[in-house]
Amino acid sequence: MNIKTTAVERTTWSDEAIVRRVLQGDTPVYRFIVERYQDIVYACAYAITGSDSDAKDAAQEAFIRVYRHLAQFDPSRPLKLYLMRIAVNCSRNISGTRRGWEPLEETSEIVKPADATAPERHAAVRELVERLPQTLREVCALFYFAEHSCREVAEILQMNESAVKVALHLARKKLLTDWRCAYE
């Protein structure tokens, strides 16, 4: 059943078309779902777990679970939201079972913006996000790193949209305060 296609054709396939092909037996095309979403799933998992290896494990587990349960997926709903919900749950499971993980120490040194390269500034922001309480960290990960709307974040985290907006406000306020404190 594996019909030869060009790379351009494959990248224009909708998630729904890929899911349909996988369910019809063309399982190798599932890799296009993985390629399409691996960066945002990893970014979300990393923000929740605070660990590269745990984030990789959570992301891998999320893709495996989606694949295994693809037949139960409701194609009228966005696959990305379904995948992200599973990724959040996998990340929570891993960070909840990991022993000895603590948020970063308050004394962790953060690179000052004036002296930092863009990647160092990006790392400093991620470090500050890792210090947030779990709910705020998850909301930030989905909104900023995975670029979901407030409505989508609410659906993924099973919160109401107002609660997501409040969490984003609280997170921004805490991040700004922490950023300023690091440089005074």
pLDDT band per the 50, 70, 90 thresholds, residue 7:
low
Q: For residue 6, what pLDDT is reported?
A: 54
Beta-strand ranges (E) seen in 8-158 are: none
Mean pLDDT for the stretch of residues 73-79: 87
Highest mean pLDDT among 51-55, 57-61, 107-111: 57-61
Q: For residue 164, what pLDDT is reported?
A: 94
Domains 1-100 and 107-184 alike in fold: no
Per-residue model confidence as pLDDT tens digits over 137-177 = 889 888 888 888 999 999 999 999 999 999 999 998 988 88
Give me the helices (H) in 69-141, please. 79-97, 118-130, 134-140
**Would you kindly state where each structural domain of the chain is located, as residue ranges?**
1-100, 107-184
Q: 107-184 adopts what CATH topology? A: Arc Repressor Mutant, subunit A (1.10.10)
Residue 12 has pLDDT above 60, yes or no: yes
For 123, half-sphere exposure in the C-beta direction (CA atoms, 13 angstrom radius) is 12
**Residue pair 155/142 in contact by the 8 Å Cβ criterion:** no
**Residue pair 164/153 in contact by the 8 Å Cβ criterion:** yes
Mean pLDDT for the stretch of residues 48-55: 89
Q: For residue 99, what pLDDT is reported?
A: 37
Token representation of residue 1: 């059943």
Token representation of residue 169: 């406000």
Task: Tell me yes or no: is domain 1-100 CATH 3.30.2130.10.
Answer: no
Q: For residue 4, what pLDDT is reported?
A: 53
* CA dihedral over 79, 80, 84, 85, signed as positive or negative: negative
Token representation of residue 49: 């777990």
Residue identified by tokens 């019909």 is 3
Smallest CA-to-CA distance from 42 within 100, 84, 93, 94 is with 84
> Which amino acid belongs to residue 41?
V
